[in-house]
Amino acid sequence: MLSLRMCRLGAIRSMLSLRVRRLVAIRSMLSLRMCRLGAIRSMLSLRMCRLGAIRSMMSLRITFASGQA
């Protein structure tokens, strides 16, 4: 009887540990995806910043040219 109970407890523990491992793996995958998304967002924001800088430079050149003319 005791051995059966111990066996059952061991099986339950192994199942729980497997579930915990799965949860940890899923969490790590999600964190990796979030990290990738964050990196992509930062890249996009950098590009937008560059575009904004180029636009401001162009507008400055246009205003400078119009001021000269």
Q: What is the pLDDT of residues 5-61, one digit of tens each?
A: 888 999 999 999 999 999 999 999 999 999 899 999 999 999 999 999 999 999 989
Instruction: Report if pTM > 0.95.
Output: no
| The two three-digit tokens of residue 8, written as one number | 């059952």
When pLDDT is cut at 50, 70 and 90, the band that residue 65 belongs to is confident
Residue environment code for 1-36, b if the CB has 16+ CB neighbours within 10 A, otherwise e: eeeeeeeeeeeeeeeeeeeeeeeeeeeeeeeeeeee
Distance CA 16, CA 11 (A): 9
